[in-house]
């Protein structure tokens, strides 16, 4: 009993400590006054994120915006005084921290106070000009430039500045070479070309002969496809392109080689995330021929579940039991199951690797 009483007093004291804090400015929900000192409390939630008592001068302290603040002697980020900035000329240029000589990047945590202030410091970007530095994140994430250089992930790029050009989200070029944009860096490629056609945000064609696509997963890298011709190009979505008789998804030829390119279409999903596709002759599941499905009456009901006039399909298997004609998805906001038919059969839909399964709801 004494233990419970003691814990109650401690909890009350903690609650009073944080409830008596006063927000310094509407420009930030992170800085507060308490007991004559300035505290950094991320989002004002000290219970979950902790707090940091600063040594800031209360009388001259002011919020710049968000995690940034200042007093007469220091710039503060996450409540930590900054060692490498010029206090008098420091400012936020949009969301970019700069002073008269430097552009900075903050590489610390913005949601926790557990890291030491020595680890919560603004770091200058080498050779970046604070007056002309801008981000190009609307075209390629992590890309920026100033009057003389391009930067990726805050590192200077060794490219020809005057001729540098963004092709799409995966490729850039200058007068000397073509580059691929990866998550970590922008890397030169060993292609020489006179002509580059940009198909969309994913694909480019070199000299009308070679299709390039960057696949970052499983170490695939740049995938190339030799093109016999490029007379007819059709984009189904950003990852799926038809070039004459070739169907390509995520940079690779469609796995079923006899697919009819002229009538091919995705029936659900996007590119490589599509279970079902079809042409005038066949239905495909994960790019494999599904001979049991009738393309004339086939319809996708939900992701991996589909039916035609004779069968219900869950993945690449025929699902027996329900009435095919009346089997349908339902409004999940109104009932506690996903599919039903007119015979009273009800099923829950459960995704699993490579497809899904239907779980019968027991009849009452």
Please give the model's pTM, rounded to 2 decimal places.
Answer: 0.84
How many CB atoms are closer than 10 A to CB 204? 22
What is residue 19's predicted lDDT score, i.e. its pLDDT?
56
Confidence of residue 174 (pLDDT cuts 50, 70, 90): very high
CA distance 104 to 102: 6
φ, ψ of residue 287 to 5 degrees: the values are: 70, 10
CA distance 269 to 9: 56
pLDDT beyond 70 at 1: no
Tens digits of residue pLDDT in 35-88: 999 999 999 988 878 899 999 999 999 999 999 999 999 999 999 999 999 999
- Cβ proximity of 305 and 356 under 8 Å: yes
Confidence of residue 193 (pLDDT cuts 50, 70, 90): confident
Where do the domains of the chain lie? 20-124, 266-364
- Cβ proximity of 198 and 211 under 8 Å: no
Tens digits of residue pLDDT in 88-120: 999 999 999 999 999 999 988 777 788 999 999
Tens digits of residue pLDDT in 197-233: 999 999 999 999 999 999 998 889 999 999 999 999 9
pLDDT beyond 60 at 4: no
Tens digits of residue pLDDT in 296-308: 999 999 999 999 9
Q: What is the dihedral of CA 99, 102, 105, 107, to 10 degrees?
A: -100
What is residue 16's predicted lDDT score, i.e. its pLDDT?
44
Nearest C-alpha neighbor of 50 from the set 71, 78, 86: 78
Nearest C-alpha neighbor of 326 from the set 342, 302, 308, 344: 342
CA distance 244 to 254: 13
CA distance 182 to 354: 27
What is residue 332's predicted lDDT score, i.e. its pLDDT?
87
The CB-side HSE value for 142 (13 A sphere, CA atoms) comes to 14
Question: Which pair of tokens denotes residue 257?
Answer: 């080689």
- Cβ proximity of 129 and 136 under 8 Å: no
Which single residue is written with the structure tokens 């700069």? 98
How many CB atoms are closer than 10 A to CB 225? 18
CA distance 34 to 31: 10
Segment holding 181, helix H or strand E: strand 178-181
Long-range own/partner contacts, residues 169-177 (CB < 8 A, 24 or more apart) = 169/139, 169/140, 169/201, 169/202, 170/201, 170/202, 170/204, 170/213, 170/214, 171/204, 171/212, 171/214, 172/140
CA distance 307 to 325: 9
């Amino acid at each position: 009993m004494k233990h419970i009483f003691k814990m109650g007093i401690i909890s009350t004291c903690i609650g009073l400590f944080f409830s008596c804090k006063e927000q310094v400015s509407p420009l930030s929900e992170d800085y507060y006054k308490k007991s004559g000192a300035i505290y950094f409390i991320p989002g004002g939630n000290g219970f979950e994120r902790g707090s940091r008592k600063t040594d800031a001068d209360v009388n001259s302290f002011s919020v710049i915006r968000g995690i940034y603040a200042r007093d007469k002697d220091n710039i503060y980020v996450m409540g930590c005084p900054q060692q490498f900035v010029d206090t008098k000329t420091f400012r936020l240029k949009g969301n970019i921290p700069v002073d008269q000589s430097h552009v900075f990047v903050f590489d610390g945590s913005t949601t926790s106070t557990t890291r030491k202030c020595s680890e919560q410091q603004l770091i200058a970007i080498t050779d970046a000009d604070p007056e002309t530095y801008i981000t190009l994140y609307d075209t390629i994430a992590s890309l920026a430039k100033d009057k003389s250089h391009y930067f990726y992930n805050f590192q200077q790029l060794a490219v020809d500045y005057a001729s540098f050009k963004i092709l799409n989200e995966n490729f850039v070029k200058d007068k000397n070479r073509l580059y691929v944009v990866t998550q970590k860096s922008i890397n030169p490629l060993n292609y020489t070309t006179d002509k580059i056609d940009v198909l969309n945000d994913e694909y480019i064609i070199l000299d009308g002969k070679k299709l390039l696509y960057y696949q970052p997963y499983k170490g695939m890298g740049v995938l190339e496809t030799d093109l016999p011709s490029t007379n007819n190009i059709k984009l189904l979505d950003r990852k799926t392109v038809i070039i004459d008789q070739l169907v390509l998804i995520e940079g690779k030829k469609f796995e079923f080689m006899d697919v009819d390119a002229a009538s091919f279409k995705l029936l659900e999903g996007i590119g490589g995330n599509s279970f079902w596709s079809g042409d005038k002759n066949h239905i495909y599941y994960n790019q494999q021929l599904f001979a049991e499905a009738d393309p004339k009456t086939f319809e996708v009901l939900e992701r991996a579940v589909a039916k035609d006039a004779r069968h219900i399909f869950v993945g690449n298997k025929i699902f027996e039991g329900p009435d095919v004609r009346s089997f349908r998805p339902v409004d999940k906001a109104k009932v506690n199951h996903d599919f039903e038919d007119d015979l009273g059969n009800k099923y829950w839909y459960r995704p699993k690797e490579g497809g899904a399964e239907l779980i019968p709801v027991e009849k009452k």
